Amino acid sequence: MSLLRRPGIAIVTLLILLTGAVFLTQVVPYRQIVDSQHQVAEARSQLATLESENTRLAADVEALHTDSEIERLAREKLGYVRPGETAFVVLDPPGAPEDSEPVAPPPAPTEKTWVDKVWEFLTGADMSS
């Protein structure tokens, strides 16, 4: 009964509820758009990587048709030498340290506050992780 006597409060409440409903109905499409943009950027990056690898492989295939490349590969992979040349094999001494460096463990994840989680939800940053 008191809301009917004060129409201003009812109108303000209705406007707040309507604004909240409009906001909530726009968050899902916005997140889908952001996710689609991330997927397109990732696909473009992958395409650029594959194109550069394809160019490199095409150059390797073209080089395989030359005598100098065939000789280089035979010497490198098979250990072939020309007549009169002496082949040497250099081995590491026993107990020598390996070239690989120890891998550091990844840093421990930090706990995010609820404000950070809400912001990531609204901006779509939580979908890229």
What percent of the chain is predicted at pLDDT more than 90? 26
Residue 13 counted as domain residue: yes
Q: Is residue 37 part of a domain?
A: yes
Whole-Å CA distances, 35 to 25, 29, 30, 67: 17, 10, 9, 51
Is residue 99 in some structural domain? no
What pLDDT, on a 0 to 100 scale, did the predictor assign at position 90?
A: 83
Residue 8, C-beta contacts closer than 8 angstroms, at least 6 positions apart: none
The average confidence (pLDDT) of the chain is 84
Residue 32 located in a structural domain = yes
pLDDT tens profile 12-67: 889 999 988 888 787 778 878 888 999 999 999 999 999 999 999 999 999 889 99
3-state secondary structure of 77: helix
Indicate whether 110 belongs to any domain: no
Query: Measuring CA to CA, which residue among 18, 26, 49, 9 is closest to residue 122?
Result: 26
Sign, CA dihedral 12-18-24-26, equals negative
Task: Give the residue numbers spanning the domain of 29.
Answer: 2-90
Domain annotation covers residue 46: yes
Number of structural domains found in the chain: 1
